Amino acid sequence: MIHRSIFKFVGYSIALTVFLLFLVEFCILFFSSFLWQIDSSLYRILKIIDYNLMSVIILSLIVGYSMILYLVLRKNYLYFITVLEAVEAIAEETTDFIEIPYAELNTVSQQLNTIKTKLQKNARAAKEAEQKKNDLIVYLAHDLKTPLTSIIGYISLLRDEKEISEELQHHYIQIVYDKAERLGDLINEFFEITRFNLTKQILEIENINVTRLLEQLTFEFKPMFIEKNITCKLDIAKDLQVPCDVAKMQRVLDNLLRNAVNYSYADSTIVIKVEKMDDVVKIQFTNHGPTIPSEKIIHIFDQFYRGDNARRSTTGGAGLGLAIAKEIVELHGGSIYAESANECTNFVVILPEMS
């Protein structure tokens, strides 16, 4: 835009100079064609101009150049003021787009709107990060306090009760052990989600036999299946190869199967179905249990979210399992979602083919 103004100034200045020289030449020829009386006022004025012709031309050029410069700079000044006002509008916490009423500044307007959008997005991300940090502290304090209080309580009973039976001692010790295990699980979950939030995760992609991985996983879950008399069916092709980070994907599958078992009815069936479609792999966990309301299912992958507070002490950890699964799946460039209706819940993982 500055270059354009310079070109305008130079162009108008050349045009003015040519016009002024042409005008002077024309005036000399025109007025020379007349016979003048020496005592004529107009003649005297023309004579003075003729004697100072060079000065008059230079003065006219200076005045003309100044007017051209003013007109050119005035527009640029208006542009400058408008852009400054638009820059100030970037910091405003509004969703209104910045509008500059000059067609020549459309590009500038678009760039300022892009900057404003990015700044607002970064501000929201910073606010969300701060909220996550606060949530982490609150949930850490709350969830660690519960098992820790129980541990201290039962240890105090063991210490203070002098005539406690051996059977009751074993019972209290088992409770303390279970609570200590839960405390360890909670701490591990907090460390895991903090690691995903604060460090850049690097995938170690390799082709894995997901069929064998799921067969091994379901075998490890047999004690939990037996406890609730649950049947687990695998619907998957033989030796299906899927490129992924095996350790991280195993964590996803473990979390989804554990969730399915925890929230399944007794004497029901869990179905794990894997399909390879075009350039994606679809992994689906289906279980039969209480329907998850729509207002809860949209938050089910949020950190610390547990839709069933009544069973949090027996079925849930810190509410981070599904959040971690989502982090891992998205790290693979995939997606994960849940749907629930008629006492049937599906968790679906979509993984793209990765090189």
**Are 212 and 177 found together in one domain?**
no
The one-digit pLDDT tens for each residue of the chain (355 residues) are 566 667 777 787 888 888 888 888 888 888 777 777 777 787 788 778 778 888 888 888 888 888 887 777 777 777 777 777 777 777 666 667 777 766 666 777 777 777 877 887 888 888 877 776 776 677 667 667 777 888 888 888 888 877 788 888 888 888 888 888 878 877 776 776 666 665 566 778 888 899 999 999 999 899 889 989 999 999 998 888 888 888 889 889 988 998 899 999 999 999 999 998 888 899 999 999 999 898 888 888 876 555 554 444 444 455 577 888 888 899 889 999 999 999 999 999 999 875 5
Pseudo-torsion of CA 281, 221, 201, 186, nearest 10°? 140
Q: For the chain, what is the domain count?
A: 3
**Are 146 and 54 found together in one domain?**
no
**Are 212 and 336 found together in one domain?**
yes
**Within-domain flag for 320:** yes
**Are 189 and 226 found together in one domain?**
no
**Within-domain flag for 98:** no
**Within-domain flag for 99:** no
**Within-domain flag for 61:** yes
pTM reported for the whole predicted model: 0.53
CATH value at residue 194: 1.10.287.130
